[in-house]
Structure 1
């Protein structure tokens, strides 16, 4: 990431308005594929964007904001995938989102991320049984990669 952007992230103050939260999340959405569990991490901030909800910056919002800033500044670099080598997909779900990581062994023999996939669950999808949500996470990963 550009050093100027890194400095801007480090100095970013907590938003005081819905517009400020939108700006922060708009920036973050560009980098969401590089941040594991992004949808889960942003849940408290996204909740502030709901219509007819009073803007209240809570401790949970501050924790999410600080954690996201830290991840923007330190998240591991993705490796370039090599189509001639095997991949693994790690998929997971929560009540709110599906997520997956595409990994491949690097030259050091360790599994490194090639990409992240995070997608919020729609209200009907949140009612799926856990095994159906896990299958949905796998399906989404296979469709993406």
Structure 2
């Protein structure tokens, strides 16, 4: 959604406003007017995290079941991949999305009851890049579960946006 506007901010970018930029600006304004309803976190209930990665973006959401057992969104996060990160294999991008989620939701997840992280792919091997990141994950108590793309639609939307 914001990619055309973000591209204007790049170093040495020619700053020329056209229909593509105006459409992106209007789409962002509309999304702010129709923002999703977020729930307040309950420190006594377990959290879950969904994350996903695409060729350009990583995204994640912090969820928590309410008293009736319905999953409610506490927070959304996403960001564009850096140039070098775009070259990562899909499993490394998924791990990057997991790390990003833990950093962004740290205040809720660190020291909480064990939680579940849902991701779209499951790696059968551990790359060197993955192995270097393992120490970061050690301070959290969680289980990773694979959730194919269709049921993982929430995180998929965050990572498949065109911005």
TM-score by length of 2: 0.57
Larger relative helix fraction: 1
The runs of 5 or more residues in structure 2 that have no matched partner are: 106-163
Aligned residues: 105
Question: For 1:82, what is the secondary structure of its paired residue?
Answer: coil
**Could you tell me which residue of structure 2 aligns to residue 59 of structure 1?**
19
Question: Residues 141 and 57 (structure 1 numbering): CA distance in 2 closer, same or farther, change over 3 Å?
Answer: same
**Could you tell me which residue of structure 1 aligns to residue 76 of structure 2?**
116
Offset from partner CA, 1:86-123 (integer Å, 9 cap, x none): 22211011222211000112345432210112233221
Match of 1:90 among 44, 50, 57: 50
**Could you tell me which residue of structure 2 aligns to residue 77 of structure 1?**
37
Question: Residues 108 and 64 (structure 1 numbering): CA distance in 2 closer, same or farther, change over 3 Å?
Answer: farther
In the TM superposition, what is the alpha-carbon distance from 1:50 to its structure 2 partner? 1.9
Question: Residues 60 and 131 (structure 1 numbering): CA distance in 2 closer, same or farther, change over 3 Å?
Answer: farther
- Higher RCO (CA 8 Å, separation ≥ 6 residues): 2
**Could you tell me which residue of structure 1 aligns to residue 6 of structure 2?**
46
Question: For 1:126, what is the secondary structure of its paired residue?
Answer: helix
How far apart in 2 are the matches of 1:87 and 1:116? 13
Larger relative strand fraction: 2
How far apart in 2 are the matches of 1:140 and 1:95? 16
In the TM superposition, what is the alpha-carbon distance from 1:133 to its structure 2 partner? 0.3
**What RMSD over aligned residues (CA atoms) do the two structures have, in Å?**
1.8
